[in-house]
Structure formats: structure tokens, C-alpha cells
Amino acid sequence: MRATRTRGADGKRKGGGVPRIGVILAAGLDRRTDDGAEGRSTLLLRLGGMSLIERSVRTLLAAGLERVVVVVGHHGDQLASEVKGSFGSRVEIVRSSRWEDGDGASLMAAEDEVAAEGLFVVAQANVVFSSGALERIVRTRMPATLVAPAPGSEEARVEGSPVDCGVYVVGPDIFRCLRHGAEGDHTLAGAIARYTADRTVKALPLDLGAGWQDVKTPGDLGPAREMLRRSLTKEIDGPVAAYLHRPISTRVTMALAPLRLSPNLITLAALLAGVWGGWSLSAGRTVVGGLLIQLCSVLDGMDGETARLLVRTSRAGAILDGVTDRMVDAALITGIILWVWVDPSRTFRAVSIATASVVWGGVALLTREAYRTFEVAPRDLPVVLLIGGRDSRLLVASVFTILGLPQVGLAGGAGLYFVSVGVRILLKRRALPPAAPAKPDQIGEAADGDLHVIGEEPVDQDPGHHLRASAT
């Protein structure tokens, strides 16, 4: 929940909360940029299925801002038409008449839109960030600037020399700094330097694994595209996903990005491939079934990749993905069991696979919160994923089914699963905090069943209490 701000007598919002509004500077003219854009703004060049200006707006809104002000100047009509229809009232277009003087002069055009805010975000439109990279700075409650190693600079990474990423959290005083700058200095950089001279501005490092790329010319699109592709992976990927599936799925996702496919549509395609794989296995078509299992794994990665690439992640999409994963698991297990069975009829196989998928999908949906009990700390995830990540289980099942050994595939996948569950339980028990010592008046015989002080909450006797609490 966002912190509440109060308004003073001047009508301005007072500090104490996180920013609600962002300003995107998209007004400047860069000759190097426009030369390769064939008379159009470089901010209209496509990257990962959308224009640079649309990606900039979506990234800020997805980070948690309620509204974005886009300052346009050069190619203003083109940029305004690109974003206004897509976001409605959440985006306001402001035109700068002094855009040729510099980005600081362009920011001045947005003063009326943000002057009542305690803090607001300022971002350069031509800087591309991976999904989720701005959430940390958008949640800050004090003036801040986002810093990171220079993209593509090994020297910066080794020496740890951070550079400015072009995203700031500032207050209305920034406009005073713009007005009282040196003669002829209308740059945002100069204003930020004056702004930091008499107040504390926190340097927030870009989260580990997040990516960014400054796109100054059309030639910078290549490195930006590669940065986005690499950012589509996840820290919780197991070795099979990281080294087998992701190199394939991320490239396919980038190639299909211009189609702007719905992530939920890809999730349903993964479900179809998995159920089809279970059906093929039930009929003894081992090679087809095994390959469909791997196709399902690739598609299962692509739905999340597409959501992150198009900045369209959602809680509903995550729930759908989790439920369909369990449905596929049920279809594959049922298919292998029917394969081992002595020639069941087509009708029986179809009903069995459909029933198992629907029932297990429903169970997964109902027990979703309870399943969080088995979540472990990030430092322990590599161990769990190496032993029994879903990709590892599906790979074992597909390899042995292709080899005509369904029993081994089923037993191997199940064995990995139960071993991973056991490891999760051990890791969770190890992470439990030590029990607090009892108060003197709480000590008594166990048979009393009354080990709490009257008027206070009773001591929780449920041994799973701390386990659930640590997972929230």
C-alpha cells in the first residue's frame, strides 16, 4: 500500500510517500539518432515487439507508477500518437517549446504536472531496461539516482565504477535548480548536480541480473536486443532450463515478439503440447511423446519470457501458468501409466487423461497457498533445482520414454520429485528460528494444556506454524 501524503496550505503534496508520477523526456533532437531513422524519431524504432517510447512508458507503469507524463518536442506528433491511444488517461502528453535547448529545458515543460508531488520519477526515453529493473527506485521514499556498471564495459564491471542510468527520483526543487543554472546550461545533468549539492540523494544500484542499454543510434538496437534476450532468463532456472531450454526459448521469444502474442495463449499452447504428449505416450508413440514433453518445456518458458519482454506480467498469468503445469504433469504421468497398461481403449485413455488433468489442475489451484510452505530461500534454490527441478524431471521422463523404458522414466521423474521435496523440508527446518524462551509464568506441566497468560494470545502448539510464517 502506498503511503499517504498530505497537502499543505500551498496545495502541494508533502513528503513521506513513494512517487506516483513519472516524467519521460522524449523531446530532444540527436542528429546521430535521426540520421538512421528515415525521417522518423528513433524512439519509434521497434525493439522486442514495441517502440522504444512505448517500452519506456510500459516499464514505468509496470514498476508501480500511477501516471506518466511524456514530454515531446521533435517529432512530437508521431510520439504522441504512438503512446496516447495505448494508455488512455494514465499517460499525459506535454509539448516542450524549448526542446532544442536541452533535456533540462524539456523537463521544465512538465512542471505544472508534477509541482504538487512530494517526489516524482524522471527518466530518459532512449534508455531501455529489462523487466522489473525500475521497481526498486520507484519504491524509494527519498531523492535517488539509479546507477549501474556501464553496459558492455568489462572494465566498469571489474573496477565497480557505476555510471548514471538516466533515471532519477527528485522533488519539485529540481525546477529551481533548472532556473538558477549557469548561463546557457539547460541540461538535466547540470540541474541534478546542483540538486545534489544541498541535499542527500541516494545512489541506488541496479538489481543484480537486471539489464539496461542506452540507445543513442539505430546501431545500439543490436546490443539492446541481446540485453533484453539475456534478461528473459530467471535466477531460479535449473541447469536443464538454463543450458538447454532457455537458449532456444529466448531466441524464439525474441523472433516472435513483433506478433505481440498473448502470454496466456502461449501457456495454453504449452498445455496442449503436454496433454498431446501424454496422449501419444498412452498409445506407445514414444518418440512423439518424448519430443512433445520437451516442446512443452520450451513453451512453458516462453510464456513468462513473453510477459516480461512485453512488460505484461500479471498475477493471473502466474496462477494460470502454475495450474497448467500441474495439469500437464498429470497428463504425462497418466499417459505413461496407460502405456504400461495392457492396451486400454482410446475412449478410456482419453477420459483418464482428461480427468487426471482437470482434477490435478483443480487441486493445484486450491492448494496454491499451502504449497508456498515448501518455498526455500534463494541461496538454497540451486541445490533443490539441481536435484529435482521440473525441467530436470521432464527431461528424465522424455529421455527414457524415447528409449522405450516408461517405467524407468516414471520412476526417475517421481524419484527426483520426492527427493526435492525432502530436501526442501530439511532446508526449511534448518532455517526455522530458535524457539523463544518461555516466560516464568508460562512454565508448567505439559498435561495442563494451559501454557499461556490470561489475556494474551495462547502459544501456538501447531508444529507447522513457523514453517508457514517463514514462507509468507
* Cell output for 318: 502466474
Percentage of the chain exceeding pLDDT 90: 49
Question: Which range, 108-117, 378-387, 460-469, is most confident?
Answer: 108-117
Residues with Cβ within 8 Å of 386's Cβ and at least 6 positions away in sequence, in order, are 238, 239, 392
| Arithmetic mean of pLDDT, 174-189 | 81
Q: Is the pLDDT of residue 223 over 50?
A: yes
Please report, for residues 297, 316, 345, 357, the alpha-carbon distance to residue 275 in angstroms, rounded to integers and kept in the order given: 12, 22, 17, 8
What 3-state DSSP class applies to 141? coil
**Span of 139-148, 294-303, 334-343, 362-371 with lowest mean pLDDT:** 362-371
- The closest alpha carbon to 393, from 368, 420, 359, 374, belongs to 420
Residue range 212-234: average pLDDT? Answer: 92
Q: Which of 58-67, 200-209, 371-380 has the highest mean pLDDT?
A: 58-67
Domains 21-228 and 234-431 share a fold: no
91: region left, alpha or beta (phi > 0 left; psi from -120 to 50 alpha): beta
In this prediction, residue 97 carries a pLDDT of 87
Confidence band for 420, pLDDT divided at 50, 70 and 90: confident
What's the CA gap between 183 and 175, in Å, rounded? 15
Cα separation of the two ends of the chain: 17
Mean pLDDT (the chain) is 81
The interaxial angle of helices 315-340 and 390-402, nearest 10 deg, is 30
- What are the pLDDT digits (tens) for 267-278? 999 999 999 999
**Mean pLDDT, to the nearest integer, of 112-128?**
94
> Does residue 16 surpass a pLDDT of 60?
no
**pTM for this predicted structure:** 0.79
72-98, pLDDT tens digit by residue? 998 889 999 998 877 888 999 999 988
Residue 30, CA distances (Å) to 99, 198, 357, 470 in order = 11, 32, 56, 52
Instruction: Express as a percent the part of the chain with pLDDT over 70.
Output: 77
User: Which CATH entry fits the domain spanning 21-228: 3.40.50.720, 3.90.950.10, 3.90.550.10, 3.30.1330.10?
Assistant: 3.90.550.10
**234-431 CATH, one of 1.20.120.1760, 3.50.30.30, 3.60.15.10, 3.40.640.10:** 1.20.120.1760
Output the CA–CA distances (angstroms, integers) from residue 60 to 67, 130, 138, 194, in the order listed: 9, 11, 8, 25
Per-residue pLDDT at 263: 96
- 235-293 per-position pLDDT tens digit: 778 788 889 999 999 999 999 999 999 999 999 999 999 999 999 999 999 999 999 99
Nearest to 69 by CA among 85, 80, 78, 55: 80
Closest CA to 332 of 297, 366, 307: 297
**For residue range 335-382, what is the model confidence (pLDDT) as tens digits?**
999 998 877 889 999 999 999 999 999 998 888 777 666 665 555 566
pLDDT in tens, 307-324: 999 999 899 999 999 999
Domain boundaries of the chain, sorted by first residue: 21-228, 234-431
Q: Give mean pLDDT, residues 150-169.
A: 64
Residue 333's closest CA among 416, 417, 410? 410
The model's confidence at residue 5, banded by pLDDT at 50, 70 and 90, is: very low
What pLDDT, on a 0 to 100 scale, did the predictor assign at position 236? 76
Backbone angles phi, psi at 305, to 5 degrees: -60, -45
